[in-house]
Structure formats: C-alpha cells, structure tokens
Amino acid sequence: MVLLSLTASHHELDLDALERLSTGSMSVGRTVVGTCRPVQGTVVISTCNRFELYLDVDAPLDGDTVRHATRHVAELVAESSGVTAEVAATSFTVRTGPEVAEHLFAVAAGLDSMVVGEREIAGQVKRALAESRADGTTSKTLELLFQTASRTSKQVGHSTALGGAGRSLVSVGLDLAGESLRPYPAVRAVIIGTGAYAGAAVAALSARGCDDVRVYSQSGRAADFATSHGIGAVGQDQESLVEALEEADLVVSCSGARGRRPGSPAASAPGAEASLEYVLDAASVARARDRAAARAGDEPESDALVILDLALHRDVDPSVADVEGVLLYDLASLTAHAPTTERAVVDQARAIVTDAAARFEETRLGRAADGAVVALLDEAERQVAAEVGAAVDRLTAELAPLGHAPTESDREEIARSVRRRVHAALHGRIVAARATALAEARAAEAAVVAGAERSLRPVPATD
C-alpha cells in the first residue's frame, strides 16, 4: 500500500485558481474509487482555503499503478471542475509516506491555515473522514491516518498556546468588521449558511455581546439551525433575504452554496463557472440599502453595511463592494489582516506534529519490518530449542551415575536461562533488522511516488 495525497491550497494557488479547481470536485472521491481499481480508499478535504485528496493505493513498487492513479485523479478533477487536465495536474502538490501524515497532521492542528492556529479546521478534517465513511470510500489505513490527525490536533491544542486565543477566520473577520460597526451589543447580524463557519459565527457574535442574529439558508435548513442555536431565521426566498438586509449592520456569508440555487441551470452545468449565481448579488444589496434609506427618511445617514464573505466559492458578488455604504471583505482581505503567531509556539506545535507523523509511519510501515523480525524470532526459537536440548542431555549424563534424572523444574530453569541469554543477544539484531526493513520500505515508496509526481508534470511540447 502507498499513501498518496494531492494538495491544492492557498500556499500554492491564489484563491481564484483554487476556487476553479475545487468547483464540483466533491464527488471525485467516490468516482476515483469506483473507476480506478488500485485506489482502495479516498478522503477529500475541501475548505475555504484548500482542496485535498488523500488516497490509499495498492501499488506495486515499479510505480506504474501510482502514476496511473495520480493522472486519473487529475483528469477527474479537471472534468468535474471545468479546468484543463494540464491545469489540474500542475496545480497539485504530490506527497507520500511521512510527508502525507506530517502534512495532514499540520493541517488538522491549524498550522497550514490562513490564520495559523485556527480551530475550525480540526472539525473539517473529522467531517471529511465521516463523509468518506458515509460514501463508503475510506480504508483502514485512511481511518488510522485521519483518526491520528484528530488526536494530534487535540494534543497540540492541549500542549501549546496555539489556538488558545480563539484564532479563526471568523474572529479575524469580526474584529475587522468591528472597526466600522457600532458596539457589538447593538449590532444586527445576518448569517448566510448553516455549516461549521455559521456555527462558529454565532458563537463568536454571542461572545461579543451580539444577540440580534438571524440565519438565512437556500437549502431550507435555517429554521432547524436557528432553533438549535437560539437565534432567528430568515425565510428561504431571496425577497426575505433582502428584507433582512434592510435592517442588518453585518452579514457573515459562509454557505459555499454558489451555483446550487434550486432550479438554477448553473447547479448542474459542469465547468460553467461564469454562469454560477451568487448567493448575494449587487442588485439585492442595493435594493436593501435603498429601502433602508427610504425608511430612514430625514434621519442621519445609516451606518455602513459590513459583509464578510468567508466562502471559497464566493457567496457574494465582488461588485457588491461598489454599492454605496457597503464594506465587503473576502478571504483574501481577511488573510491580509490575520494575526501573526509567535515562532516559539509554532515550533512547539510542529515538533508535536513531526513526532506524531514519525510514530504513525513506523506503525504503518511496521508490517514491512514484521517479516524480518519474525524470521529472527523463529531463528532464535530454533537456537533456544537446540541449546536447551543439549543442556538437558548434559545434565542427564551428569545425574545418571547418581541414579537421578533432570526434573521438570530443572528443564524449565534451563529453558528460562537459555531463552533469556539468546533473546538478550537478539535485541540488537531485531532493532537493526527493523530499521533496515523500514528504510527499505521508505526508499521503495519514495521511488514510487517520484515516478507518480513526474507523471503529473505536463510533457513539454516538441517541434
């Protein structure tokens, strides 16, 4: 088995490119398991700043199977996202072996996030595994990988100050919005979406004293979400959203539902990015602002409407920023305002991640060393049996003139003594054999993925 990950994140791509790559690709996990026999399992992580596929590949050491799997996955991503196969192939960073575990553990701990130390990603990693289970696309190795990632994230949270300040995109956004809003206890907020970020937004607003919060969802889940979080709900139709915006000071949009509006042709048109509908468009916002101004009459001009768009697939039309009296912050602008984290804290967290990844790899590749260790143990048992037999024969010869024979206790003591001595001498050989087998397994796997990575690079055109 070879663990393989294909990663595209804000580190390698700008957010526009990442958005294009991940559009419509959530079904890739099911498709690749169903169409690529060597792939035993997949887990897909798709968040506001990353799109990653983790694969468990049953691959021979010549690497052809892994090269085929990686190329096949890139083509599937291209097909579902509407980008070219070349763009998909060159957008991914390929990792294997210890790099896979160390990267995922760093992601789960918040070390690879736009806001270093943010905690929402830990829940997103857990949900990615749960969704893979529901789709029937996980594997024993991926289960162990993702469960270990969650445990490592908890260890980082408990053992370091990383994330202790409640860092997240939501908190960064609310801090930034607060500079242009009245005090939060007087703010009227509308949340668009009912996912993890929506829940985090409710909690963060509540912590700031904001209790006038309503939620809107195109999917019809607003009422249930509102009940479970103790807030108000907005009707499912667009006109209800416009009415809510008339009174709002703050909008936190995090649905990721762009292009999924019921009945919209864009909801089913692969690659038709230009036609995707925004959850919140400029016309709706302008209409809401005009109504608010008309209702205010001769009263002083209303405060600015601050909109935080936390969705990778941009819930909010960028032209909303041109509507008078509106301040729009998207992921890129929020990232620019993200707080820095002390280097010592990050180093401490990375040390935990590195150690956990090394232990995971030893466990995963331990099967490659088990055969060598078992062979040594079998050899040792044969040596013990031979030496015990010889020792018993000598004792029998010594006792025979006296008319005695070795007792069962004598035999057991001889066996214990011989086994203790043989196994003490064997320890060093076992350690060396295990280390050699692990090194050989890592080297073989590295050779496999090197070929796979080369296969993802486009072939230069020739004259």
Query: Can you tell me the distance from the alpha carbon of 163 to that of 175, in angstroms, rounded to the nearest whole number?
Result: 16
DSSP state of 42: E
Is residue 36 annotated as a catalytic residue, yes or no? no
Residue with tokens 């099967």: 367
Kindly report the backbone phi and psi dihedral angles of residue 96, in degrees, each rounded to the nearest multiple of 5, phi listed first.
-150, 170
| Residue of 353, 391, 218, 256 lying closest to 399 (CA atoms) | 391
Give the DSSP letter string of 183-231. Answer: -GGG-EEEEE--SHHHHHHHHHHHHTT--EEEEE-TTS-HHHHHHHHT-
Q: Which of 36, 48, 210, 254 is catalytic?
A: 48
- Element of type H or E holding 55: strand 50-57
Vertex 37: Cα angle to 31 and 38 (nearest 5):
115
Query: Can you tell me the distance from the alpha carbon of 18 to that of 169, in angstroms, rounded to the nearest whole number?
Result: 17
DSSP state of 403: T
Query: Can you tell me the distance from the alpha carbon of 246 to that of 232, in angstroms, rounded to the nearest whole number?
Result: 15
Residues 6+ apart with CB under 8 A from 236: 216, 217, 218, 220, 222
Vertex 370: Cα angle to 368 and 371 (nearest 5):
85
Kindly report the backbone phi and psi dihedral angles of residue 129, in degrees, each rounded to the nearest multiple of 5, phi listed first.
-65, -40
b/e sequence 1-16, b meaning 16+ C-beta within 10 Å: bbbbbbbbbbeebebe
Active site residues: 48
